[in-house]
Amino acid sequence: MPNAPEPRAPRRVVVDPHGPVLVEGPVEVETPDGIRRSDRFMVALCTCRRSRTLPWCDTSHRPRERRR
Amino acid sequence: MSAVGPAEAAWYAEPRGEVSAALADCLRHGREAPAGLVRAAGGAGVDPWGDDLHFALYLLYELHYRGLDGVSDDREWDPGLLRVRAALEGRFLDALREAVPSPRTVEESFGPLLTTPADRAGGVSGSIAETGGLWRAREYAVLRSPYHLKEADPHAWAIPRLTGRAKAAFVAIEYDEFGAGRAEAVHARLFADLMEDLGLDAGYNRYLPAVPAAALATVNLMSLFGLHRAWRAALVGHFACVETTSSPGSARMVDALTACGAGPAAIRFYAEHVTADAVHEQVVRREVIGGLLEDDPALEPRIAFGCDATVLLEDRLADHILTAWTNGRSALRHPLPQPVAA
């Protein structure tokens, strides 16, 4: 077929099994509170829902140290 | 409000012992470093954690960054000064090697950093929050200023020494640190904004005479690693350690600065590091350390050493600060005067 569009290279995202999902930026995230944008070269999306900076990861997924 | 601080002192005005006094003299008057100074710098009489050594080393390293007022740029590669520097570095490295367990794996060094401390309110940020005023926040900013006003600069020395995956990822993080093409977003600029927001003078090395050895040592460590190709893996370990610990530490600083009534620019510096460094931590551990170890697995103990040495010096600095504050003293060599309303 003439003028067929080039197939787009798939965007690979990286899943940290115990942490965020890494997506190449810039990124827009639709959230219930509106669209959040990040221009960073890579963006870490929170998946544990503990982040205080949702939708971005703030490392709150890390296990808590046991109290000594 | 006018900037707070003692009257501006020249870098050579307050040497901290025999070695730094003799060195400041050589630098200031364009004299060659005498053999006796090299011997003294490497001698057992110099405390490897002390003010004399770390101030002298800081001055010598500064020749590789922005230079010192009144000192010729040519002296950066002066063989006599390099011999003094090597002697001081030898003392410092011997002390680090003795204090840091080695050899360790990357997992052993970084594993403990990937947990959230049980006592989130403790430490330096907790102490800043509990004063109900800004003086501890100001002291902390002054202590950190030699580091953050050149944030990411020493790490740039790693770039020509890395290849492939490690290099590409490392440069991507550095690009972010340097504002991703925007001067107003360079992290060192954000720290200058924080200082001004706290009523401090953000001039480069402006508060150097007030900064004690415990804080200078954290900067000297990364300069040492950065200026020696042999320590490139330790520089990567340092970088990865900072990125790994920064995000939760910065979140605690956001809380502390908010609690003591700091302004938006001060809070922004740490808020930016919460999300930026959550990304950087992932990229540096996966791609930079992963890539470097793929290229040269023998570098692993050096990466771990860089991380462990960083943790050691950060713990020493936190002890210094908390000991001073708990005893009602300034953590600086000279306390800042109380700011006056303009």
Residue A34's beta-bridge partner residues?
A31
Instruction: Look up residue B120 and give its amino acid.
Output: R
> What CA–CA distance (Å, rounded) separates B236 from B222?
10
In a shared domain, residues B90 and B113: no
B80 and B133, same domain (yes or no): no
Q: Assess if residue B216 is contained within a domain.
A: yes
Q: How large a percentage of chain A has pLDDT more than 90?
A: 76
The span from the CA of B200 to the CA of B231, in Å, is: 35
> Rounded to whole angstroms, how far apart are CA atoms A34 and A32?
6
Q: Are B284 and B239 in contact (CB under 8 A)?
A: yes
User: Looking at residue B14, what DSSP letter applies?
Assistant: -
Test mutation, B113, B171, B244, B247, chain A, max A CBs within 10 A: B247
Residues B160 and B93 in one domain: no
Predicted local distance difference test score (pLDDT) of residue B322? 96
Number of domains composing chain B: 2
Token digits of residue B203: 């001039």
- Shared domain check, B225 and B122: yes
What pLDDT is recorded for position B337?
83
Residues B84 and B163 in one domain: no
Judged by a CB distance cut-off of 8 A, whether residue A23 touches chain B is no
Q: Specify whether B191 is located in the same domain as B76.
A: no
User: Do B48 and B194 lie in a common domain?
Assistant: no
Query: Under a CB-based contact definition with an 8 Å cutoff, are residues B74 and B42 in contact?
Result: no
Please compute the mean of the pLDDT values over residues A38-55 and round it to a whole number.
96
Chosen domain end from B68, B99, B130: B99
- Residue B10 counted as domain residue: no
What confidence score (pLDDT) does residue B121 get? 59
Are B266 and B204 members of one domain? yes
Residues of B in contact with A20 (CB under 8 A): 278, 282
Tell me which residue range forms the domain holding B94. 18-99
HSE-up of residue B6 (Cα within 13 Å, Cβ side): 16
Q: What pLDDT band is residue A68 in, cutting at 50, 70 and 90?
A: very low
- Any B CB within 8 A of A40 CB: yes
Give the pLDDT band of residue A65 (cuts 50, 70, 90).
Answer: confident
Task: Kindly determine whether residue B278 and residue A52, on different chains, have CB atoms separated by under 8 Å.
Answer: no
Q: Check whether residue B292 and residue B223 sit in a common domain.
A: yes
Instruction: Indicate left, alpha or beta for B43 from its phi (over 0: left) and psi (-120 to 50: alpha).
Output: beta
Contact call for residues B179 and B117 (beta carbons, < 8 A): no
pLDDT of residue A4: 77
What is the rounded CA–CA span in Å between residue A19 and residue A44? Answer: 9
pLDDT in tens, chain B (342 residues): 445 555 567 899 999 999 999 999 999 999 999 999 999 999 999 999 999 999 999 999 999 999 999 999 999 999 999 999 999 999 999 999 999 998 999 999 999 999 987 665 569 999 999 887 899 999 999 999 999 999 999 999 999 999 999 999 999 999 999 999 999 999 999 999 999 999 999 999 999 999 999 999 999 999 999 999 999 999 999 999 999 999 999 999 999 999 999 999 999 999 999 999 999 999 999 999 999 999 999 999 999 999 999 999 999 999 999 999 999 999 999 999 876 443
**Domain CATH number, residue B274:** 1.20.910.10
Instruction: Let me know whether B152 and B68 are in one domain.
Output: no
Residue A31, strand partner residues = A34
Residue B249 inside a domain? The answer is yes
Residue B158 counted as domain residue: yes
Q: Which of A44, A64, A65 sits opposite B278 (nearest CB)?
A: A44
Q: Where are the beta strands (DSSP E) in B64-196?
A: none
Tokens of B201: 């003078």
Closest residue on chain B to A42 (Cα):
B279
Domain boundary among B83, B99, B115: B99
- DSSP type of residue B339: P
Are residues B159 and B63 part of one domain? no
Question: Within a domain: residue B197?
Answer: yes
Same domain, B85 and B133: no
Contact partners, residue B165, CB within 8 Å, separation at least 6: B287, B288, B290, B291, B294
B4 in a domain, yes or no?
no
Q: Which pLDDT does position A1 carry in this prediction?
A: 58
Q: Is residue B12 part of a domain?
A: no
What ipTM describes this predicted complex? 0.88
What's the start-to-end Cα distance of chain B, in Å? 4
* Last residue of one domain, picked from the residues B67, B99, B131: B99
Look at residues B125, B122, B123 and name the one whose alpha carbon lies nearest to residue B250: B125
Does the beta carbon of B176 lie under 8 angstroms from any beta carbon of chain A?
Answer: yes
| In a domain? residue B68 | yes
* Strand ranges across the sheet with A21-24: A14-15, A21-24, A42-45
